[in-house]
Structure 1
Amino acid sequence: MNKIRNMALPFICLLALLPLQSRAQGYWSGIGVKIGNNLALDYKIFVTERQALDLSIGILEPFDGIDKRGPQFVLFSPDYLFHFPVSEDGFSLFIGPGVSLGAQFGIMDDNGNLVTEERNFYFSVDAAMGVEYKLPDVPLALAFEWSPKLQLAGDERRITVGENGKPLRPKDWYDEKRHATARLGDLTIGIRYTF
């Protein structure tokens, strides 16, 4: 019990000191893009001085070569971020929970061929973390973010489009083999116009 208390005490002291610091991000909202293994439009709004709602909609793996083109994912990813100022110069660390939901268009068959008639629903629980820098005297913020994911739906949960264009569900839709899958997630660089 003493070991837990000794580990928790510095963390509690840090949390107690955080409200005493000034707002370090230097803006209340911003709009921009995230570029990396996904390409997304991004909107961020601070709901308090240290907490922000970050909303992204984009395409996963948009830069694969045409010969390597695989399934495409369109995802909506809201995150609730907690910012921790590192310095008065505009640097802050952030971390927070989020989700990603959307659709996968196409699957790779056993021979490595793209089957475009297949559609999947995608859902994951995310953990966003990164660093952000608000440029002084310029309405821009730069960010580097990593967002690992715990995928709860997708890949195996396929919706096949029938000849009439309507979705069909395979018999094994609720197969007991379905389980959560850990994913390395998104690694992005963001640029945001701030206001």
Structure 2
Amino acid sequence: MRGKAALATGVASLLLFFSSMPICQAKLGLGEPKVSQIEFYMHDLLVTEKPTAVIVAEANTTKSSPTLFGQVVVVDDPMTEGPELTSKLIGKAQGLYAPSSQSEISLSEAVNFVFIDGKFNGSTLSVMGRNPILYKERELWIIGGSGAFRLARGYALKQTYSFDTTTLNAVVHYNVTVIHC
């Protein structure tokens, strides 16, 4: 099964690469498309002195829902090079997520990765998708970007690195493949 998934990922990457090439070259004069691999850790801190994830809305049935269906959380999470919060800060993950299933712990996410250091400083990537958080690896799609990531396409694979059941604070590892002009 793993071989088929790898093949599908490779084919999808090639399709994205070739479908974005004419836009970069002919229409916008931005040259050949580039493929970048970016790896980082995001720290989602709900219960701490300075939370980076805040519940901003709940349905009247959320408290009785085993999946927290109907809750909305806004985030301004640090993105670091390593899994420790003290690692070098490279950006912020800003956006929102909401539990979106009544039967499974799954989130709908819309987040901007805002890079504040390194070669992508000042650039952003916009990601979106379904995040069934109990799966070992989840995939979000890249729907655009700015700066170095104009006309970005690709995907972000995420895995939970650590999760504290008392505070609900999480560290998530991201491996991002992006095609851009």
Q: Does TM, scored on the shorter chain, surpass 0.5?
A: no
Q: TM-score, structure 1 length as denominator? A: 0.42
| Structure exhibiting the larger radius of gyration computed from Cα positions | 1
Structure with more of its chain in strand, by fraction: 1
Structure with more of its chain in helix, by fraction: 2
Q: TM-score, structure 2 length as denominator? A: 0.44
